[in-house]
Amino acid sequence: MEQANQRPIRVVAGLIFHDRRLLACQRHAGATFPLKWEFPGGKVENGESDLDALRRELKEELGIDVHDAELISAYEHSYNGGPRVSLCFYNVKSFHGEATNLVFQQISWEKVTDLGSLDFLEGDRRLIEQLLASDGEAPSDVERGR
pLDDT in tens, 93-127: 999 999 999 999 999 999 999 999 999 999 999 99
123 by DSSP, 3-state: which?
Answer: helix
Q: For residues 131 and 138, is the Cβ–Cβ distance under 8 A?
A: yes
pLDDT of residue 143: 43
Q: What strands lie across the sheet with 9-15, from one edge to the other?
A: 41-43, 9-15, 84-96, 65-78
Give the residue among 21, 33, 29 at the shortest CA–CA distance from 115: 21
Q: How many CB atoms lie within 10 A of CB 50?
A: 17
CA 57/CA 93 separation, integer angstroms: 16
CATH fold of 2-133 reads Nucleoside Triphosphate Pyrophosphohydrolase (3.90.79)
pLDDT in tens, 50-100: 999 999 999 999 999 999 999 999 999 999 888 899 999 999 999 999 999
Q: For residues 60 and 52, is the Cβ–Cβ distance under 8 A?
A: no
Confidence band for 5, pLDDT divided at 50, 70 and 90: low
Query: Where do the domains of the chain lie?
Result: 2-133
Query: What predicted TM-score, i.e. pTM, was given to this entire model?
Result: 0.90
What is the DSSP-derived secondary structure letter of residue 136?
A: T
